[in-house]
Amino acid sequence: MSDRLLEIFNSSGEYVSGQEIADRLGISRNAVWKAVQRARKEGYEIEAVPRCGYRLINSREAFGENSIRNALKTKWLGKELVFLEEVDSTNEECKRRSQKGAGEGLVVIADSQSAGKGRRGRSWTSDRGTTISMSYLLKPAFSPDIAPMLTLIMAMAAAEGIGRVTGADVGIKWPNDIVIGGKKAVGILTEMVAEPDYIHEVIIGTGINVTVEEFPEAIRNTATSLYLETGKVFSRALIAGEITNSFEIYYEKFSREGNLSRLTNAYNALCVNVGKRVRVLDPKGEYEAEAAGINEKGELMVETDDGELNNIYSGEVSVRGIYGYI
């Protein structure tokens, strides 16, 4: 819905005639009807009553370009915004548009994905109306060796944005699994095209289970959605906007420092591993330790039972006795 049409509905609160809308927007009655139809496709619930006009009943479910733009408070991220009802993968769409000249800050958001990707080649598909699938296109000036830390920044932004909208207790399982109620609700996939000393592009894809109620048997005990954890339905546009707002702030801090030194406290406050027993799955052998949070490189700092301090960069860390999907 256009900002001006939304403003007319919000300022009235009652029925507004099609002629009044046409006069205030400087368009024809037929154009008003088309604008209302577009708004309904985005999810705005608009009632039309003969001889009374139109009335906005509910905008919570609106999910489209305009509703997302209304939630953005960014300076550059999302100024180029593409919304698609369906796409194979928002990451792939970002790549295609980057090859055609799209610049840093492009945001692609889709209502559904038919061939979304997860880590290690896993699929991440989504049905219409139940998830948020979005990707950011970044073309940073820093060196490729620090780019993997962007995944942690995305996790921070996702946890913070979701928590701000829903009020849920949202945490991060190191390095980038977003968990609520002990289960994973968000998946993040970062892909990079680079030379040894130069980054061509980084694409960060994020998939959020919003109103999903059932999952395939293989992940049923490990996956969840915002609806299953809270019993409430939240605006997907607002969630996407709040996450993007947070990411821009964190990304700019990271880019200035070239590390996570200014973000470790914020990350560790969200990290569910901190202060917990963890099992480190190291190719050289598994061992247990206590997690102390991340350092400026995004490594998980752990202390073994015999007092040895290790910084974990690769491998998988699991939390014993808390999260069932580990």
* Tokens of residue 108, six digits: 């692609």
C-beta of residue 141 within 8 angstroms of C-beta of residue 204: no
Calculate the dihedral angle through the C-alpha atoms of 270, 192, 212, 70, rounding to the nearest 10 degrees.
80
C-beta of residue 302 within 8 angstroms of C-beta of residue 289: yes
CA distance 108 to 133: 8
Phi and psi angles of residue 197, each rounded to the nearest 5 degrees, phi first: -125, 15
CA distance 300 to 275: 12
Q: What is the pLDDT of residue 220?
A: 86
What is the C-alpha R_g of the chain? Answer: 22
| Residue 215 DSSP one-character state | -
Question: For residue 51, what are the CA distances in angstroms to 7, 19, 176, 276, 302?
Answer: 21, 11, 54, 64, 69
CA nearest neighbour of 267 among 254, 277, 282, 256 = 254
Return the ∠ at Cα 212 (arms to 278 and 157), rounded to 5°. 55
Q: Which residues of 295-311 are buried (b: 16+ CB within 10 A; e: fewer)?
A: bebbbbbbeeeeeeeee
Phi and psi angles of residue 22, each rounded to the nearest 5 degrees, phi first: -60, -45
Residue identified by tokens 């002990």 is 182
Q: What is the pLDDT of residue 319?
A: 61
Residue ranges of domains in the chain, CATH in brackets:
3-58 (1.10.10.10), 65-270 (3.30.930.10), 277-319 (2.30.30.100)
* Tokens of residue 175, six digits: 């390095």
Q: What is the pTM (predicted TM-score) of this model?
A: 0.83
Number of Cβ within 10 Å of residue 52's Cβ equals 12
Residue identified by tokens 């609700």 is 185
What lies within 8 Å, CB to CB, of 34 at 6+ separation is: none
pLDDT profile of the chain (326 residues), mean per 10: 72 85 92 86 82 80 85 97 94 96 97 74 69 97 95 98 96 94 94 95 97 89 94 92 98 96 97 91 85 95 93 71 47
CA distance 302 to 290: 5
End-to-end Cα spacing for the chain: 43
